[in-house]
Structure 1
Amino acid sequence: MASEERNTSDIENMVNSVSHFILLGFPSSREIQMVYFVVFSTTYILTLMGNAAIICAVHWDRHLHTPMYILLGNFSFLEICYVTTTVPNMLANFLSETKTITFVGCFVQFYFFFSFGCDEGFYLCIMAFDRYLAICRPLHYPNIMTTHLCTDLVIFGWSSGFILFVIPVVLISQLYYCGPNIINHFICDPVPLMALSCSKAHTTKFIYSTFNTIFMVGTFIFVLISYVLVIFSVLRIPSAAGKRKAFSTCASHLAIVILFFGSVMTMYVGPGSEQPVEFQKVMTLFYSVITPLFNPLIYSLRNKDMKAALRKVLVATRTSHKT
């Protein structure tokens, strides 16, 4: 009995022994840290401005009040939320000597970052489904993609990640952390978090890996099949102008799909977790910072309607400043 009481006491002490984590980020000299701060601050500001411009364009231009652009506007807002879960804290750490994050704050970041990432995967599926209906079922598209269905898809896209990622976060947060508390990353990534646990986490690792594989492979296959069907339909379009327009729209979507799924699957489905830590950091930067930056560039530069709407936004902004 005394032995069991000691074990219980030891476990309780293990639970309470880690109150914060240290995010190493990108260890370097103070001068290099300041360079990183300037680079990522600029990237973050450009990401916010670019995605906010798309949201404003979709909101203000009535011609863009269609399912495709409504989904794009929501996707851009999602990108803003996604990048905001990590970059501000990363910028603060560049200026900090301690680079600490509380235990609760770490798991809050973990939950929101991966929930928004999960939502992004679902939104790419929804946007692929919308393009499939518009190109492969053009006559039935208005009757299928109604305002009601579009609203339901938007709600599903936003809520799905927050529901699904409750389980992984709860499981990993319930592991015992007795030290060390140094995470060689710039975010609270689940892989190094589980590596720091003092308890045996075989079941948690298996559940987390299975969840990641099913979600990423499943959504990627759905998107891939959708665009394969779209490409076959586009090839049957008789006019060259129609083919160019359809391919231009799909190319924008596919570029984002390749950027996002390529880097994410390399990290969490392929052998990414076995790669050097620096490689993992670069891949995480790619899908968490670079992809949200490229999103407005890819969609606006390849879409005539979006470019026209953005011009209207710029003109309206200049006019309001002058008055």
Structure 2
Amino acid sequence: MSNAEREPMELRCGASEHGEHVPQVEVLSARDVPLGGPRSMTVRRTLPQRARTLIGAWCFIDHYGPDDVAGTGGMDVAPHPHTGLQTVSWLFSGEIEHRDSLGSHAFVRPGELNLMTGGHGISHSEVSTARTTILHGVQLWLALPEEHRHTGRDFQHYVPSSVRVDGAEVRVFLGALAGETAPVRTFTPLLGAELILEPHSTTTLAIDAGFEHGLLVDHGEVRIAGTLLHPTELGYVGTGSDTLTLANETDDVARAVLLGGTPFEEQIVMWWNFIGRSHEDIVEAREAWESASDRFGKVDGYDGDRLPAPALPHATIAPRKNPTRH
């Protein structure tokens, strides 16, 4: 998915001091961002924001739906570029057609992972299909570490199985959890999983103590480490714990997405759909896209024009970091 904001936030991101164990849960609220034209669907963005820019290598979290495409027109994101990241597409309902400059033509469906790598440069389009009535899911980005940020284009598709842990149904689409390991390639230690929690259930998960975690609640209410999260909220838990307890105290099923990873210690610059290490990296990537260079290739089969890049800010992108813990 593209960051379709007309004036994208300027971010220079760096890890905070992650060594201390902080048992508290930091609750992050989403902001609404329109995606597309006049009848655009709205996505809820919980990462990045001023309070936090990274959870592990996770640097971008968009949560959308349930969206009635008859009223909004659904998703229609024209070809756009990416550098220095991986995109993670995960749906709860609906279907999205994916095309990219690697030549991939695939469909994003509920419970199926689409993972696209755009290191040195890739472009892609995303369009909800005519079969879709309700569109609902998450779109996530992963920052690539320095040694891999110019890696070649790649696309992977994976359908995880479902496993039971206490009162939860778990689907692991990245990394390892609950005895399941996703066989897809990432470039830093990571976790991504969908959790469906039964009513009046408590689930304790064994987790990596070296990971920080974020729990995004899709629907229902979930208590994480003693803190209650409402729909669309993201709960952040720092490193140091080897278990994570989740509770659904309501009469209804709850659903959430658990994301984790080792703290990303590198400083990055993120603007529009590009991740680099300097303001100059962003300028070069934008110029390459606007000049239609071979860096991003061409997306075949999309009916329409590609997205133009927004204007660059009039100043050098300033540093922005996760808060230092005390």
TM over 0.5: no
What TM-score does the superposition give when structure 2 sets the normalisation length? 0.25
TM-score (norm 1): 0.25
Whichever structure has more strand as a proportion of its residues is 2
Greater gyration radius: 1
Compare the two structures and name the one with the higher helix fraction: 1
